[in-house]
Amino acid sequence: MTSTAAALDADLAAILDARLKARAARTAFELFEGADQARIDAIVRAMARAGTDAAEELARLAVDETGYGVFEDKIVKNLYNTRVVADALLSMRTVGVLWVDEGARTTAVGCPVGVVAGIIPVTNPTSTVLFKILASVKAGNAIVCAPHPRAARCCTRAAQVLAQAAERAGAPPGLISCLDQPTLSATRELMTHDAVTMILATGGADMVRACYSAGKPTIAVGAGNVPCFVHRSVPDITEAAVMVVTSKAFDNGTACVAEQAVVIDEPVADAYEAALEAAGCAWVDPSHHPALSALLFTERGGLRPEAVGQSAVELARRAGLSVPPSTRVLGIRLDSVGRHAPLSAEILGPVLKVHRVADADEGWRVCREILAFGGEGHTLALHASDPDVIARFSALPASRILVNTPALFGGMGYSTGIDPSFVLGTGTWSGSIASDNITALHLINIKRVAHEVRPWRGALELAERRELAAR
């Protein structure tokens, strides 16, 4: 058999796998449809416990297979979903009567959407699988995960752990599955299959566009070029620097919600840069910017996969730079944003851009430019105590305005009151239908049982009333 024929056979097998799993998910959903909240919650609890027990195993598989991130940090991401997110999901009502408005004589009734296609990124594979399965089943749905090809094994194992726990707790077989051979053709087949109801996608720009063109209701999130403004009213300069470095260095910068650039108000710039250094930031001399840019980006401006999710020390080594072994992030001082400054784009690694500005006016402008360069609708971080500054920056086009907290932990809802989630909506600014942190409530249909509250015949008299008013 020629290599071309073998590749074709493998692709056809992958497409068949997608079809079979989509059909099996539809069959399982039809058996599961009508499950009450107590039954659903028992299954979610069982999955959360199993995911917690497997958090370390899944983190090791993810790092070993993808080569991205930090083992210990991936454990935290897994546990965040099986503990914090799961607890938040369990507090929600998703099926049956959700709420009753006695005054409006209206009752809201939740019902599942059906079968969800969960598109999984390579940067956060197992943690995203855990989230999407927990949220989908909490909503009463079936789900088939389609991982990035470079994360197929770890994602399959994560789905297997939760599927086995769900079935032991009473879920029908096939309710939860993962593509074994996630080729592009297989993922496309899954997204367009008649058995699939909606798509919940996380990935790069090309994958997000493919999801929106699949002809299904889609919630898709992608890049986030997150700016962080440090105002002269910053409550604690040292703490603000520790927050940013910790957030950006976490899991080697693979979270799109982490800070990409810090915009510093001039009166506190020297002190803040010193605090960044103390927290583990090593500055890259401008003469080395071209080498770092060539390491991180292709000639067309895309991120090089081999440079994603590496440590600051490893990136420095590859770029021919010398930094202390304790370095957590590489600091790059920039004075402009846009295609002419490639390092100002989103970098999925521990590289922090720094801009110094004269005042809040210039800071607002630079943050707006950063958001416009690939981050519109995602997230803005802000360190300030001046309420007028906070109000002004809240007008920028970002779905999450995070005040005096790390963007990573605040954005995903751990250190803030935002809904805990691992899928962060970016709103119509970036072509998404949702600007919320996505939860199970985004994966259900809500029916309204409504009783008459005013005589219906009054509607027929509206034109007559208009004529009388005109006289």
Query: Would you name the residues annotated as active-site residues?
Result: 256
Q: What is the token pair recorded at 456? A: 């219906």
From CA 384, how far away is CA 231, in angstroms rounded?
5
From CA 317, how far away is CA 207, in angstroms rounded?
31
From CA 437, how far away is CA 325, in angstroms rounded?
36
Buried b (16+ CB within 10 A) or exposed e, 98-108: beeeeeeeebb
Measured between alpha carbons, how far is residue 203 from residues 72, 133, 303, 327, 367 in Å? 23, 17, 13, 29, 24
Measured between alpha carbons, how far is residue 347 from residues 207, 254, 260 in Å? 18, 9, 7
Q: What is the dihedral of CA 40, 43, 48, 53, to 10 degrees?
A: 180
Provide the 8-state DSSP code for 217: -
Dihedral sign (CA 225, 229, 234, 240): positive
CB atoms within 10 A of CB 220: 25
Q: What is the token pair recorded at 150? A: 């470079």
Q: What is the token pair recorded at 148? A: 């990035």
Write the DSSP string, 352-400: EEEEEESSHHHHHHHHHHHHHTTTTEEEEEEE---HHHHHHHTTSSEEE
Helix (H) / strand (E) containing 275:
helix 266-279
From CA 110, how far away is CA 347, in angstroms rounded?
40
Provide the 8-state DSSP code for 436: S
